Structure 1
């Protein structure tokens, strides 16, 4: 299971994940917020996206982060959203070179 060596982004509009293989990923806070899979953002029954991307500010930042076990990180955002857990395996699987993929 992938586990980052370093996660940097508190108070910033971007989060940088440094992986044990030496790879580095950068996700904008907005892109992370748009990828949230909590029950407020994605239907637990159908998997359909509930979150309206237009409701997420372009200038959103990370206000708090904490590890969740050895598998993910909980991220709180400046728009008040704080219920998402970002699994490291999913972050690695959704790697892209771009910053604003949905």
Structure 2
């Protein structure tokens, strides 16, 4: 009977230890899923930030040329100063 109890403890201890780590909130599957969701959110935020950086780099390159892009300059003047050429129509899609 003593051998049976020892064997029972030897086999049950690793199984209970494994089950604890699979089901616990700190180390288990739910923690893995939460961390995966957090990682996905960070990756999406990083992608959006990279897109914005690339847009700004493109605009900087357009302004660095010996003759800057007139359309970009007109767009910035309208956006920042509010000056519009006579007879032009402005549609602001950001506030729709």
More helix by share: 2
More strand by share: 1
Please state which band the TM-score falls in when normalised by the shorter chain. Answer: under 0.3
Highest relative contact order (Cα 8 Å, sep 6+), 1 or 2?
Answer: 1
- The two structures have a TM-score, normalised by structure 1, of 0.16
